[in-house]
Chains A and B, each alone.
Chain A
Amino acid sequence: MSIKVAITDDHPLIIKGVKDVINANPQFELCGVYSSGADLLNGLLQQVPDVLLLDIQLPDKMGNELSRIVNKRYPQIAILALTNMDTIYYLKEMLQHGCMGYLTKHTDEAILTQAIMQVYNGEQFIEDGLKEQLADSILQKRNQLKSPQLTQREKEILQLIAREYTNQQIADKLFIALRTVENHRLSISQKLNSKNTAGLIKTALRMGLIEP
């Protein structure tokens, strides 16, 4: 039993490269080559692959939308995104739309083979560099919540709030618009996770941001 693989990409050279890799591996069988979303959806009516290699930027439809449709109609297909996009935004989006794996096109034969095998076996596959980016972004978010950095302006405004200045007085003192003060207050209160002025001062004191 060989693994049936289909590819959707509008780039002939990529298709050729993938074809070579798949044909050379006796475990794989190429069962469909499509160059657009419509092409793919039509093709799936005839032949359902085990693994679908899917580009994100196709001439008619975006890969995330296609992935959602394919996943809904043919939940048995393992979708592996094969794309030029190397940001975690696309990665997150594709995975949320039912992709099992994510690989950039700048890969080699060994990794491509491994990725196909892995998604076929029901495991997720994400390219190494992107995996690290994603983990870093999660922890960075946490650290920002734990110990946020205040900007110079936020510190100035905080000092004045502590000295019981009103927003208007702060605006006058710093030669900025009232709305700008409000804008900064919004980010200060979110950074310090406080709902009102009392809470703001309390947290600021605790964190040593203002002098008691």
Chain B
Amino acid sequence: MTSVSHNIRMEAFLMLLLVGLPILSAYAQEKSYIPDNYELKNFKTDTAEINRLILQSQNTSTDSSIVFLQTAYKKSILAKYNYGAAQSLLGLGVMYGHSGAYDSSLNYYKRAYYYCYNCPEKQFRVLLWQDMASSYARSGNRNIAFICLYKALEEIKNNDLQNNRTLTATIYLNIATMLTADGQDNKALYYLRKAEALVKNRNIYLPLLYLNMANAYHASNIDSYLVYSKKELALGKKYGSREISMLAYFSIGDAYVDSKIPAKGIQYIDSGIALVTTSTNPVHIVQYNARLGEAYYQLGNFKRAKYFLDIAGSEGKRLGLTDDERFYIDTTLAAIYTREGNFQKALEKQQEYSKSHDSFLKAQKDSLINKLEVTYRTAEKDKEIASQLEGIKHRNSLIIVVSIIACLLVMLIVSMYFITKNRKQLQEEKILNLEQEKKITELKGMLQGEEKERKRLARELHDGIMGQLSAVKLSLSFLKRKYSVLNNANDFSEVLSNLDEAAKDLRNTAHNLMPATLSYHGLGAALHTFCDKINQSNELQIHFYMYGELPKLQSYFELSIYRIVQELIQNIIKHAKATEALLQINFFDEQLTITIEDNGSGFNTETVDKAAGLGLTNVRERISAFHGTFTIGRRNEGGTAIEIVFDTNYMKNEESYVNKSSNNG
């Protein structure tokens, strides 16, 4: 049981291994699995000894097991005892698989193939595939492992082994394990439920099931994760399974750390560590160290956090960790280094993880895929049309001629109709466009003038007066050092803190006039900074998302958008009584979409404008002047959703940020 359980847990790393040995020991206990009597009769002494050797191999260390099994194998060959040969080769494969020698392990399985398929015990065929899957999965060949597992299922069906519930459930569990590791939790749950039905009355399998259920819920539902992990722990304790209890403790700890209750998380993980043995899969060691690191980070104990994360990282590197786990460890480390001021190291860590999570590259890739998909679909449609034409060809040519003429006539009439209609429409559109254009030019002029003046003012405030205030503060703090009397003067400290307040106000005013980030780093950065600032003030938590590569747009347009977002977020803070909001910028195919949502009290559509006052009217006006659309609605979960869409085709600026910064700098 123990060795079974330690293989089934899988989050990020694959270690399905529920392999030969546990099953074989089950054979030894169950009557029906004892080899057929006729074989025993034929090779009395030899087979008895072989069976004894195999049994012995199960209760000893890996090294001596290998010796026992190799002896058993040799004797089986001499005695032409396929049952023994199959069993010892499978056992050897498992042993080598355990110790990480996957090539040797697979070699034994390949040799076992002949004996498994030429022996009366049909279950060996299933075991062979199952064990091979384990070695393949552990050595990173997950696709082959999947094929092996499905092959094992096939053998169960072919040989009518469904009645062997334990065996069948084992395969289901392993498939589920692999699926969970792939993030296909729903499919995994399907197999788990199948397994559950099979082992209903066999309690020893329930903890395993709960463990897998817990894992399947891990990503999507932290509460279910916790519930199943706790069930798993209760059963682990009930059956005295060290491994199961240990894994359950880790899962519960993990859930608490994820829910930002680090103290409880540490408590459970520590209980789990107390149960670790030398045979514990090293991947768990990586995982619990990583979680401990996160927990200590949450508690602000960076030194301990780093200690555990470093163990996790180096151990993980040795084992060839998956991206997910490395990402987890590296981000936490980056955050710690940042807080400690070791930016160089933080950057290194950040770069390590951003390699696999580079959203910029992904955006490009995704848009490429999107475009490819469109091209592919168009090509498909063309093909469809072509094949339809082909069909027509074979029909009566007269009908074709007639219908072609008819078609041409219809097309002629239709196109004539459309041409006249289009001409009219075009003219109307032109007039509309001209009007719009005029409006934009007006607004542009206004904004450009305003922008220039704001920029000047902001710069004056920020660089001029701010600088002076900073200088005064520096001098005052210097005076404090020079004249020690001032150290205990309360009124002097008060002057200093008043100065801090004044500087803060001034900084905000300057920033509101014209955010420096906008001029130097563009709209995305400016909005990000804006959200960071709001988040720091704790008035509202804004989740900021940005997708697609936003080009440099004309500066009055960028400023307008910044103001619009600013206005709408201020509205949320003032009127919505929201705790959380979302700001998302999408840019794709020259289209800019801005989404702003909050979880506040929502609004009454008729009173929107009244409540938000002039601000919203102003916002609508600006948006429509830029050809944009503005939609405001209620979120299903409560709160408000706003969507703004712009076509940026005529808002582009040739000047890119890269050029700009290198010219300036």
Contacts and interface: CB of A to CB of B under 8 A. Distances in A.
Interface stretch (B24-32, B137-145, B333-341): B333-341
Given A14-B471, A131-B341, A179 B331 contact: no
Contacts of B664: 61-62, 65
A114 to B, nearest CB: 11
B60 interface: no
Most chain A beta carbons < 10 A, residue from B344, B547, B582, B635: B547
Nearest to B543: A149
Interface residue SS majority, chain A: helix
A151 B343 contact: no
Interface in A3-50: 11, 13-14, 16-18, 20-21, 24
Nearest to A186: B588
A20 B132 CA distance: 76
B220 A207 contact: yes
Contacts of A13: 467-468, 471-472
B591 interface: yes
A15 B329 CA distance: 43
A144 interface: yes
Interface in B501-560: 503, 507, 516-517, 520-521, 525, 529, 532, 535-536, 543, 545, 547-548
Contacts of A135: 335-336, 338-339
A141 to B, nearest CB: 8
Chain B, interface size: which category?
35 or more
B363 A11 contact: no
Nearest to B374: A182
B280 interface: no
B343 A126 contact: yes
A145 B643 CA distance: 23
B183 A65 contact: no
B481 A138 contact: no
Contact of B331 (A88, A108, A139, A187): A139
A163 interface: no
B370 A105 contact: no
Contacts of B617: none
Contacts of B185: 206
Nearest to B216: A206
A95 B220 contact: no
A148 B662 CA distance: 35
A124 B478 contact: no
B183 A107 contact: no
Interface in B623-662: 633, 635-636, 641, 643, 645, 661-662
B477 interface: yes
B192 to A, nearest CB: 14
A89 B517 contact: yes
Nearest to B363: A190
Contacts of A155: 636
Contacts of A66: 665
B606 interface: no
Contacts of B593: 180, 183-184
A18 to B, nearest CB: 7
A96 B467 contact: no
B104 interface: no
Given A106-B466, A133-B536, 18 more contacts: A13-B467, A17-B474, A84-B462, A84-B463, A106-B473, A106-B500, A110-B477, A126-B341, A131-B340, A149-B545, A152-B635, A153-B641, A180-B645, A182-B589, A183-B593, A186-B548, A190-B363, A206-B186
Interface of A: 11, 13-14, 16-18, 20-21, 24, 57, 61-62, 64-66, 84-89, 95-96, 104-110, 112, 123-126, 131-142, 144-145, 148-149, 151-153, 155, 176-177, 179-180, 182-187, 189-191, 195-196, 202-203, 205-208, 212
